[in-house]
Amino acid sequence: MIDACVFDAYGTLFDVGAAARTAAAEPGSARWAGRWPQIAADWRRKQLEYSWLRAVAGDHCDFWQVTQEALDWALEAAGLDDPALRDRLLALYWELSAFPEVPAMLDALAAQGRRLAILSNGSPGMLSGAVGSAGLDTRFEALLSVESVGVFKPARAVYDLVGATLHLPPDQVLFVSSNGWDAAAGAAYGFVTVWVNREGAPLDRLPGRPAHVLRDLAALPDLIGVL
């Protein structure tokens, strides 16, 4: 019996490419607008890499610092030294849009009586800003941040936050992430997991395997209804 759905935030509920895509459509962006997909991809890749490396090294900082450092790398890789652009992209990161199917999906899960929460690398302020700007701030019972334990995913201490907060065993939790490594780690931990494979990527070769794979979140209410 699945009692709760716990979601990763960035890339799962919120479109991490939205900041660069929005900035590229604004006046004055012609010099770099054609490269926004690569900038967005580099930004996200380095954001994740830096979180993993800090977790392994035991050198934690909050996710906002990681986000800024990753953007600095991405902009330098693109040959862009533009403080105003940097400031604009960082500001837009606090206003990321949710993927189109997210509000209706959350409403459907709530109508089923499912408890809803977020478990994210994001700092508490970032998560509050994201759900607020997307109009989702009344949807979740809890916004769980790794800042409570001082280490990034996929450390087990992060997944422990779910049981400590919701008071449920792992097998009563459906954990949903667009990150294949996160879905795998959640499965190894004991959650029932869904990998939202928006890019059609191969399955990660890791100890855990997600129980289900979806292309987006629209089908999640129907899926959980038969679990």
Q: Would you call 160 a catalytic residue per the annotation? A: no
**CB distance 21 to 27 below 8 Å:** no
Length of the chain in terms of residues written: 227
Distances (CA, A) of 180 to 37, 67, 100, 186, 202: 20, 20, 21, 10, 9
Dihedral sign, Cα of residue 158, residue 164, residue 168, residue 169: positive
Give me the helices (H) in 14-138, please.
18-24, 36-57, 63-77, 83-93, 102-111, 124-133
Q: Which residue has the tokens 């800090």?
A: 54
Which candidate in 8, 15, 42, 182 is catalytic? 8
List active site positions: 8
